[in-house]
Amino acid sequence: MIKKVLIANRGEIAVRIIRACREMGIETVAVHSEVDREALHTQLADEAVCIGPAPSAQSYLNMEQIISATLVSGADAIHPGFGFLSENARFAALCEQCNITFIGPSSAVIERMGNKAEARNTMINAGVPVIPGGKEAVWDVEAGKEAAKEAGYPVMIKAALGGGGKGMRAAKKPEEFEKSFQTAQKEAKAAFGDGTMYVEHLVEHPRHIEFQILADHYGNVVHLGERDCSIQRNHQKLVEESPSEAISDQLRKQMGEAAVRAAKAAGYENAGTIEFLLEKDGSFYFMEMNTRIQVEHPVTEWVTGIDLIKEQLRIASRLPLSFSQEDIHFKGHAIECRINAENPAQNFRPSPGRITGMYLPGGEGVRIDTAIYSGYQVPAYYDSMLAKLIVYGKDRKEAIAKMCSALGEVIIEGIDTNVDYQYEIMNHPLYISGDIDIDFIEKMERASLETEPCFGR
Catalytic residue numbers, as ranges: 292
Tell me the C-alpha distance between 430 and 442, whole Å: 12
3-class secondary-structure state, position 401: helix
Strand pairing class (342-343; 101-102): unpaired
Tell me the C-alpha distance between 243 and 219, whole Å: 26
End-to-end CA distance of the chain: 49
Is 217 exposed, middle or buried (CB count within 10 Å of its CB: 0-12, 13-18, 19+)? middle
Is there a contact between 139 and 181 (Cβ–Cβ < 8 Å)? no
Is there a contact between 145 and 174 (Cβ–Cβ < 8 Å)? yes
Q: What 8-state DSSP symbol labels residue 380?
A: S
Q: What 8-state DSSP symbol labels residue 160?
A: T
Candidates 254, 250, 259; CA nearest to 224 is: 259
3-class secondary-structure state, position 209: strand
Tell me the C-alpha distance between 250 and 55, whole Å: 47
Beta strand segments in 67-146, E: 77-79, 101-102
Tell me the C-alpha distance between 94 and 81, whole Å: 17
Kindly state the helix (H) or strand (E) to which residue 388 belongs, with its residue range: strand 385-393
Is there a contact between 289 and 275 (Cβ–Cβ < 8 Å)? yes
